[in-house]
Amino acid sequence: MGYRHINCAQVYGNEKEIVLVLKRLFQENVVKREDLWITSKLWFIHWPVKMKKGSEGFKPENLVPVDILATWKAMEKLYDSR
């Protein structure tokens, strides 16, 4: 189809299928990895909330606020440590 941006996230439930398709496309030399932009979202970073411990499902009563700045700083620390 010509898509070059692949959008993944655990909540989308598409990661396994995307991996299988990309593996085949790479093996068949249909596309190179460096020609793709693959986005995978760290759970709840693109929402300013987190889940209550032990809760199930993405429902308002299961969500609590999160300190986004502290989370961002922790992600930068992880990036810098690689």
Note whether 37 and 5 are within 8 A (CB): yes
Q: Is 3 a catalytic residue?
A: no
CA distance 23 to 5: 16
- Annotated catalytic residue, options 11, 12, 24, 75: 12
Note whether 23 and 36 are within 8 A (CB): no
**Residues forming the active site:** 12
